[in-house]
């Protein structure tokens, strides 16, 4: 299966007899930004959930780092996904009443990562994303773009090879997109992180990935 982080082979998915994804093929390598464009309802979230192993395909196979994910036992499959990637859902699940620092630290806290290791990882991502000025703010008081940045920071604490982000630029203006996408490119270059990003923006206006795809009528096409 080579060195692909992610490989989808002829993946199909239907809901209540209605086909949402049809024979989808996708390969994602290291240090690579993949952008998937499609209208609302095109199946972008469904595709990302298949990649993150949150839902099972009806047909086809999902390989993560060369392993056929759905042929593994549940525990192995969960570990495979959590070792390889960090998933940022479409509705960001930050906790408004906690500070930026607490939100970023929370997943590592839950996993039982020791305080010193947590603190170092936190300082690393804060430095990378330039978040030190809002660290003690409550997330409920942040702008949409700032929240996206915090969600990105939190996803990076575990140093994933791949970040899967569902419409991270949805509530950000053009200048904000430029800043956020600049950070994404910087992380690709400095850490070798790969990204899969969805957007309803159908034109390559404000940002473009290393690989660009359109999702139309359940079919994914490289452009
Ligand atoms: N669990 C589900 N049960 C039934 N239908 C579903 C389910 N999940 C998604 N769908 C349907 O599948 C289609 C694709 O949904 P999906 O959420 O993947 O679209 P999307 O491209 O992410 O849209 P948006 O840009 O609005 O987020 C939609 O018609 C949606 O209603
Ligand atoms: Mg969606």
pLDDT (tens digit, 9 = 90+) per residue, 168-217? 988 888 888 888 899 999 999 999 999 999 999 887 667 889 999 999 99
- pLDDT classification of 69: cutoffs 50, 70, 90: very high
Name the residue range of residue 49's domain: 6-222
- pLDDT at 72 exceeding the cut of 70: yes
- Residue 68: which H helix or E strand, with range? strand 67-68
Could you identify the atom of ligand 1 that is nearest to the CA of residue 43?
A: 18
Residue 117 lies inside a defined structural domain of this protein: yes
* SS3 state at 111: coil
Residue 13 lies inside a defined structural domain of this protein: yes
Residue 216 lies inside a defined structural domain of this protein: yes
**According to the model, what pLDDT value does residue 205 have?**
66
Q: How many domains does the chain have?
A: 1
Whole-number Å distance between alpha carbons of 188 and 162: 10
Residue 1 lies inside a defined structural domain of this protein: no
Largest Cα–Cα distance of the chain, in whole Å? Answer: 51
Of 26, 80, 20, 21, nearest to 53 (Cα)? 80
Could you identify the atom of ligand 1 that is nearest to the CA of residue 46?
A: 18
* CATH code of the domain in which 63 resides: 3.40.50.300
Strands laid side by side in the 194-199 sheet: 85-88, 162-165, 194-199, 33-37, 211-216, 219-222
Q: Is 45 in the pocket of ligand 1 (CB under 6 A)?
A: yes
- pLDDT at 1 exceeding the cut of 50: no
């Amino acid at each position: 299966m080579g060195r692909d982080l992610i490989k989808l082979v002829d993946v199909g998915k239907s809901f209540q007899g209605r086909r949402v994804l049809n024979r989808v093929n996708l390969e994602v390598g290291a240090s690579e930004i993949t952008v998937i464009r499609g209208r609302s309802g095109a199946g972008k979230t469904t595709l990302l959930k298949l990649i993150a192993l949150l839902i099972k395909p009806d047909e086809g196979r999902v390989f993560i780092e060369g392993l056929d994910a759905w042929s593994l036992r549940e525990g192995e499959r969960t570990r495979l996904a959590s070792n390889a990637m960090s998933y940022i859902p479409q509705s960001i699940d930050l906790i408004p009443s906690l500070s930026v620092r607490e939100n970023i630290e929370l997943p590592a806290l839950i996993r039982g990562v020791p305080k010193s290791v947590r603190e170092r990882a936190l300082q690393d991502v804060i430095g990378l994303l330039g978040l030190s000025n809002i660290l003690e703010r409550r997330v409920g008081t942040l702008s949409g773009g700032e929240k996206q940045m915090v969600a990105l920071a939190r996803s990076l604490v575990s140093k994933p090879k791949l970040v899967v982000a569902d419409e991270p630029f949805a509530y950000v203006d053009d200048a904000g997109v430029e800043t956020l996408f600049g950070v994404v490119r910087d992380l690709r270059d400095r850490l070798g992180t790969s990204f899969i990003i969805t957007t309803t923006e159908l034109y390559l206006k404000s940002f473009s990935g290393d690989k660009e795809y359109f999702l139309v009528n359940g079919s994914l096409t490289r452009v």
